[in-house]
Every structure is written in C-alpha cells, then in structure tokens.
Amino acid sequence: MARKLKSFSRPKAGSLKNSYEMIIAKRRKGALEIQLNRPDQLNAINEAMAEEIIHAMDAVELDRKTIAVVLYGNERSFCAGADLGGFQDLPEDRYDNYRARYNQRKNRLLYRFLMNYTKPVISAVEGYCLGGGFEMAMMGDFIVASETASFGLPEGKHSLIPGAGGTQNLPRLIGAPLAKELIWTGRRISGAEAKEYRIVNHVVEGGKALTKVREIIEEMKGVGPLATMMTKQSINRGVDMTLQQGFMQEADMAYMLSWSDDRKEGLQAFSERRKPDFKGQ
C-alpha cells in the first residue's frame, strides 16, 4: 500500500509577548522596534536579553507587514557590551562551556541569528555602543548614530577579545590597520569619527537617531520586500565570494524573483503610473 505523505503547510508568523523583562518590543509603522531596557547596567547584554531579542525578531520574521527591525537603547547608552558580571568557567565545566559556545549560549547565538535574519536590521545609536553592543550593531545591516554616540571595542582592557564578530566585521568595514589600532587601544570614537570611517551611515543631532531610522524605513517602503530580502542575501554572500561567484549567485536571486507576483505588480504599476501594492509573494 502507498505511504501517506504529510506535506508542510506554509510557516506562520509567531506572536510577540505582551511584555519582556530586558527589552521593550513594539510594532510601529511596518517596523519592529526593540529597545534594550537594562538602563541601570547601560543596557549590557546578558543571556536573558539575548534570548528575548531572538524571540521578538523570530515572532515577526514571517509577518509580511513587518519590513525591518530597529535596535535602540536610550540617550546614555545603546549598549555597553556583554554583561561583564555574567561568565564563570569552572574547570569541570570547560568542555560543556565549549560545547555551548555557539548555540546554547544565547548571547552568542544572537549574533549569528542577526547575521542570517532575512529582513533589514538597523541600529539607532545614542551614547555608549561598546564591545558586544557595537558587535551587535555591526551584525545588523547598518547604523545611524547621533553626535553623542561613542563606539569602541574595549574587550582587550579586560584581556578578552571582541569575540562576537568584532575581529571580522570591523576590519571588513574599515580595513585591518585601523581596526587593529582601535582594538589594540580600546579607544572610543565619536559618532562623527565613526561616520568618517564609514562605520555609520549618518550622524544626526543628539536624541534624533531613532527618528532618522524611522525616516529611512518610510523610504524603504517603496521597494518590494522580496527584492530587499534577495539583495540582502546577495550582498552578504557576495562579500565573501570571488567576483565571478558573486555575479552568479546574484543572477540566481534575480531569476528566483522573476516568478513572484510582486515583480509582475511592480512592472504593471510602473506602466500604469501608480504606486505598486506589494504582497510579499
């Protein structure tokens, strides 16, 4: 007798919790805005905060109405890095800690989760953006800073290294010599200096970083969400490929999009001189 095969149904969006302990997560005008909310610790990330960020972002990844995620803190601090009180490595636990380093430790999983997220992740930075906080912002897609922002990777001062992507992402952004100087001194740089090095896309007046990000997201609404998903993948994959491989994977993305209803709608709307109504399919 033939086997009955169960087919998968379309995956569905999850739900945000009504409230979280370490973050405030709210939907606003097509974006999920996540405010890091441990002000007394300058928003240092601990396991619970990492888990909550993953939970909230996971809940909206399949929600077609959410086109981007915004990370922000408060005027004093975006995030002062990993919670320095949080790690103990007893000799008898070492291999469990080693095994846990990628998936079980949420404060590590978060960084790869951010890198692989299929929607734009934008950081609005005011105040301190240090260590793991800076690494979190770099794992996202781009950063908008205010004049009050202060970026740095001071881990070496604790004989730690920027182990959440900092030694890889910073040199890719600004080149190895400058990245080495910043990591080897732990020096903090202003929003303006970060703009000069192209770490951030914009520097705005103090208190205005989130407003600027919201304006950019409004403008992003004119672009089809599937095109944004594919170009994010194409750019992220392409930077680690040869140019020829990059062109080939880009052509694959372009071809995959040709089957979408949104592409038809985009072209139809252009010919009818109206705004397209994208459905994300």
Q: Hey, which residues are catalytic here?
A: 135, 155
- Going by the DSSP 8-state scheme, the letter that residue 204 receives in this structure is E
Q: Closest CB to ligand COA among 42 and 138?
A: 42
Check: CB of residue 145 under 8 Å from CB of residue 193: no
Tell me the helix, strand and coil percentages in the chain, rounded to 5.
Answer: 45, 15, 40
* CB 87 to ligand COA: min, Å: 10
d(CA 230, CA 176): 29
Q: How far is the CB of 79 from ligand COA (least distance, A)?
A: 8
**Would you say 44 or 203 has its CB closer to ligand COA?**
44
Q: How far apart are CA 39 and CA 22, in angstroms?
A: 10
- Cβ at position 82, least distance to ligand COA in Å: 4
CA distance 92 to 245: 45
Name the residue nearer to ligand COA (CB basis): 85 or 177.
85
Structure-token pair, residue 41: 């610790």
Residue 31, amino acid: A
Edge-first strand listing for the sheet containing 121-125: 23-28, 31-36, 68-72, 121-125, 142-146, 202-204
Question: What separation in angstroms does the CA of 74 have from each of 33, 117, 248, 278?
Answer: 13, 24, 42, 34
> Interface residues with ligand COA (CB under 6 A)?
41-42, 44, 80-85, 128, 130-132, 154-155, 160
The beta strand positions in 126-183, using DSSP E, are 128-130, 142-146, 150-152
Supply the minimum distance, in Å, between the C-beta of residue 158 and ligand COA.
6
Would you state the torsion angle of the CA atoms of residues 88, 93, 94, 100, taken in this order, to the nearest 10 degrees? Answer: -80
Residue 164 CB, nearest approach to ligand COA (Å)? 9
- Beta carbon nearer to ligand COA, 120 or 162: 162
Kindly tell me which of 131 and 266 has the beta carbon lying closer to ligand COA.
131
C-alpha span between 77 and 69 (Å, rounded)? 19
CB of 209 to ligand COA, least distance (A): 18
Neighbour count for residue 143 (Cβ, 10 Å): 28
Q: Which amino acid is at 109?
A: L
Q: Which is nearer to ligand COA, 131 or 224 (CB)?
A: 131
